[in-house]
Amino acid sequence: MADDRGADVPAGTEAGVLADRLKERIYATITMIAVVVGLSLGDVGSLGAVATVLTTALGLWLAALVADQQAHRTVHRHLATGRELRRMLYVSSPLLSCAVGPAVLIALAALDVLSLDAALMTAAGVGVFSLFLWGCVGGLRMGGGAVAATVAGLVDAAIGVAVALVKAAAGH
């Protein structure tokens, strides 16, 4: 990983922690796009959809914690505790928060404010748009200017759309 000057940033630094946290946010966003698209293709009600979204986020978070703890234990020869454990929890928390937007939209569908299909497609659209924005921010932070940032954003959004299309093609 590199800082604003292109220099390597150690994983334990504040910038390294923020980069790790953002990585989890992007991973969770891509995963949630696939989940909500898959739900939109199935025959599921609001309760089933929100349960799927919430258990997916919880499962992602628990898997990340298990992997982090196993890696830490293997490399450092002890369980992560104290500061190390707090860092793991902080870095992995976007895996839980990625469910908030889709869950709110599904709740609105349950209240008949919009259809469930519209809620799920809106959640997917918001996810793709957030990937676009993160791509733009990354492009700007790399010093490429507005055009390079827009291209980076479009590439990241295209990845999100590709995930959704793969999910749709798989029929899940």
Domains contained in the chain, number = 1
Q: Could you report the per-residue pLDDT of 106-118, keeping only the tens digit for each?
A: 999 999 999 999 9
Report yes or no on 1 lying in a domain.
no
Report yes or no on 5 lying in a domain.
no
Report yes or no on 155 lying in a domain.
yes
Report yes or no on 8 lying in a domain.
no
Report yes or no on 3 lying in a domain.
no
The pLDDT of residue 12 is 59
Cα dist. 25→9, 12, 32, 57, 154 in Å? 19, 18, 10, 11, 18
Report yes or no on 146 lying in a domain.
yes
| pTM for the structure as a whole | 0.84
The pLDDT of residue 164 is 78
CB neighbours of 139 closer than 8 A, spacing ≥ 6?
148, 149, 150, 151, 152, 153
The pLDDT of residue 3 is 46
- The dihedral through the CA atoms of 145, 148, 154, 158 has a sign that is negative
Computed on alpha carbons and rounded to an integer, the radius of gyration of the chain in Å comes to 18
The pLDDT of residue 123 is 97
106-112, long-range: CB within 8 Å, 24+ apart, which pairs? 106/46, 106/49, 106/50, 106/53, 107/46, 107/50, 109/46, 109/49, 110/46, 110/47, 110/50
Report yes or no on 91 lying in a domain.
yes
SS3 content of the chain, % helix, strand, coil (to 5): 80, 0, 20
Domain that includes residue 36, residue range: 14-170
The pLDDT of residue 2 is 47
Report yes or no on 121 lying in a domain.
yes
The pLDDT of residue 8 is 53
Give the residue ranges of the chain where pLDDT is below 50.
1-7
